[in-house]
Amino acid sequence: MTDYLFDGLTAPQREAVAHIDGPLLVLAGPGSGKTRVVTHRIANMLRNGVYSSQIVALTFTNKAAEEMRSRVERLNPDSTVWVSTFHRFCARLLRAYSNLVGLEPNYTIYDTSDSIQILKRSLQKEEISTSHATPEKIAKAISWAKNNMILPERYEANSANAISSIVRDVYPEYQRQLRAANAVDFDDMLMLVAQMLQENPELRAALDERFRYILVDEYQDTNLVQYLLVRSLSQQYPNLGVTGDPDQSIYGWRGANLNNILGFEKDFEHVKVVRLEQNFRSTPNILTVADHLIEHNKRRKKKSLFTERPAGQPVRLLTYTNSHEESHAIATRIATQVAQGKRRPRDFAIFYRVNALSRSYEEALRQQGIPYMIVSGVEFYQRKEIKDVLAYAMLINNPRDDVAFTRVVNTPTRGIGKSTILKLQVHALDHGISMMDAAREAGMIDSLNKRAAVAVAKFVALFDRISLKINEPVEDILGAVLTETGYRAQYENSDDEEDVSRLENIDELLSSAREFDYQHPEDGTLERYLEDKALVNETDQFDTELDRVTMMTLHAAKGLEFPWVFMVAIEEGLLPHERSKDSDAQLEEERRLMFVGITRAQEELELSTANQRDFRGRRMMTVPSKFLFELPREEMDFQAALGRYTPPTQDWEDVHEIPEDDFDQTCESGDFSEDVPSVPDSLPSKMLMTAADMVKGPGSARPKLNPDKFHQSMAVLHPTYGLGKIVSMSGEGAKRTATVQFVTGEQKKFVLAFSELRPASTS
């Protein structure tokens, strides 16, 4: 007998699909068919009598939610299973129970930049000096607190940390201003719902009953608030099914807590654990490389990945003399493959650690005439013209929204300048009213001169006129904004290329509004539309259908797969990133990042480094990443692209012994550790110097002895002999020498002050 829900599945997959009641932990390695298991499991639950209205599946991204929803619907056409992102799920609950946390149902969702505006205002109001902290850093610290469920009144400053005392002072005011504007930031959405559930046991119990079956995707990326949320909804009905992979946790810096998944079995009784270890994506070569690398992490659950796929090409590690050569070689390689008809542009992806690296690959691809797309963080909805138009809509929906008010009151310019806005703001704060209400009283504000008061009054009249349309289709509302305010007119008669593109973007916004109206004939309220816009991200629209080479950061690559992957610039300071090296927890996260990158590749994987890299307008010598020394040499093909670098042929593991460390400490400290006033950041240049530089000092201007940079059994790199390891050292100061055993078999002695020896990795 065949059963479409179970056929073609492996034994562990079936086990997970068959599980209905009780907590379930699915440890799903990369490419192990996780989404398939989850969707089939939902189908099996429905088949066994669970009502679809009792199931909610939570994801992090819209893309993941969309993918899961469509696959669930394909299996169960009539299902009404709620598949949603955490934030959207909370947005709805917040809408329904807004009064419990001091909000109106038409509350506004502020994005990061809006939140920072409110924060700046709060800092001003509290007269806090920010000389040693940027608003962004303070915002990060507040976000950290919220993700850890620390309410303003319970926040405690850490004396060793300057930022934390600022946070202690400003966080309550920031929160007051958000509430005054009837607004929330992204973190509030989760925190307020968690708080609501904590403070209202009967509501918690009711929702626990309503959402009897909860599924969470990418559980390794959950933070404390999300953990509390799903836990509190799984008390009477502990049917919580989570999937995730500790080895793919790469959002620790955003508050994700690896303990959630590592401790799941302790949090619930009778947890069913299923390990999906068979990989259906990559060749054994690729998998072995990934496996060897991740073995170096201590904080993980051991998995043994395997595949039945046939062996493919060995994974290659290429070392180029400089970054230009690297990008050029990659572009040429792609061009050749495409020209020979072996591959199409969309088969290739280039992954890098930081966005700033994309340019050189972009240029090289353009030179070769290869179509490419960059999946980047610059979002459509962050563009000025889009934010302006949406701010009008937000203000119509929620007139208390002071950020929107400030944004549009003089856009396009109508004679309401900085000082007028400031006076309105002061008046609003003094009287505990919104800026819009202050504007309505403009005539009575003494500090405003007649001309300003008239201009403000005219704006209020304009606003009221447009507001009448609040219940019309969204496209009409936006259309009215564009014409009545003169916003469109200001760009219309311009030859400026930028203005033309702005108009195009505005048209795109209008057509998205039209689409929304069409999709929501019943519930197409402005409120709903704005919620939609607040919670989407441009990369959600990332189109895999286009026949283009994909370029993105390693973070963006998670969840994707490509036949041929290039991972570039695998160098100390970039991967692992310079700022991730103070703790082992961070270092392990960097390693996971590399693991994620490697496991995206289906057939071909090419890792590369360049001895010299042009970055931020500077040319620097580089050091290959320590991670490269953790890969299985015998399985790989090491090619020094132009003969400068030879592969390691001996065991390097002892070279990079990682000291035992207290992970919990570093793991939980969040963003605070890096905010401690630190020594001047001289590491990058030091790290990138040759031995001669180090002993003499940069530019030889100020002789500086630094023999300590080298030590016994350290991995070093020499331009002619390649990679080696220091077997012994002798002498002092400028005469200090090192005996190096090279992987070529040669042994050489160097006077450090004159040698071109440099560290091959920092340990």
Binding site for DNA (CB under 7 A): 60-63, 85, 87-88, 112, 186, 218, 221, 251, 253-254, 256, 353-356, 377, 379, 410, 413, 415-420, 452, 535-537, 539-540, 552-553, 555-556, 577, 579-580, 586, 616-617, 674
Tokens, residue 279: 């990989």
How far apart, in Å, are the Cα atoms of 525 and each of 473, 516, 521? 8, 10, 9
For β-strands 715-718 and 722-730, DSSP reports them as antiparallel
3-class SS of residue 601: strand
Known catalytic membership, residue 600:
yes
How far is Cα 381 from Cα 396, in angstroms, rounded to an integer? 18
How far apart (Å, rounded) are the C-alpha atoms in residues 741 and 761?
16
Q: How far is the CB of 326 from DNA (least distance, A)?
A: 17
732 token code pair: 């002092």
Residue 420 vs 625, nearer CB to DNA: 420
* Active-site residue identified among 248, 283, 622, 666: 248
Minimum distance of DNA from residue 670's CB (angstroms): 11
Answer for the pair 718, 710: CB distance below 8 angstroms, yes or no.
no
Number of neighbours of residue 351 by Cβ within 10 angstroms: 30
Tell the smallest beta-carbon distance from residue 354 to DNA (Å). Answer: 4
The least distance separating DNA from the CB of residue 50, rounded to whole angstroms, comes to 27
Q: Which is nearer to DNA, 25 or 556 (CB)?
A: 556
How far apart, in whole angstroms, are the C-alpha atoms of residue 238 and residue 268? Answer: 8
Min dist. Cβ of residue 26 to DNA (A): 17
Q: Which is nearer to DNA, 437 or 540 (CB)?
A: 540
Q: Name the minimum Å distance from CB 435 to DNA.
A: 15
Q: How far is the CB of 554 from DNA (least distance, A)?
A: 7
Which amino acid is residue 763, in one-letter code?
Answer: S
Nearer to DNA, 408 or 716 (CB): 408
* Angle 255-264-94 from CA coordinates, rounded to 5°: 55
Nearer to DNA, 97 or 251 (CB): 251
Backbone angles phi, psi at 291, to 5 degrees: -65, -45
Reading the block at residue 204, the tokens are 């918690």
Least Å distance between CB 418 and DNA? 5
Specify whether 92 is catalytic. no
172 residue type, one letter: P
What distance in Å separates the CA atoms of residue 181 and residue 12, rounded to the nearest whole number? 51
* Shorter beta-carbon distance to DNA: residue 167 or 743: 167
Closer residue to DNA (CB): 557 or 716: 557
Give the orientation angle of helix 86-96 with respect to helix 224-232, to 10 degrees: 60
Cβ closest to DNA, residue 88 vs residue 275? 88
Integer angstrom CA distances of residue 217 from 21, 34, 65, 242, 594: 17, 9, 9, 6, 21
Gap between the terminal Cα atoms of the chain: 58
Distance CA 458, CA 462 (A): 6
Angstrom distances, CA of residue 382 to CA of 92, 386, 388, 592: 24, 7, 10, 30
**Catalytic: 217?**
yes
CA distances (Å), 739 to each of 686, 705, 718, 725, 749, in order? 22, 19, 12, 8, 4
Q: Which one is catalytic: 218, 584, 604, 693?
A: 218
| Catalytic site positions | 34-35, 217-218, 248, 600
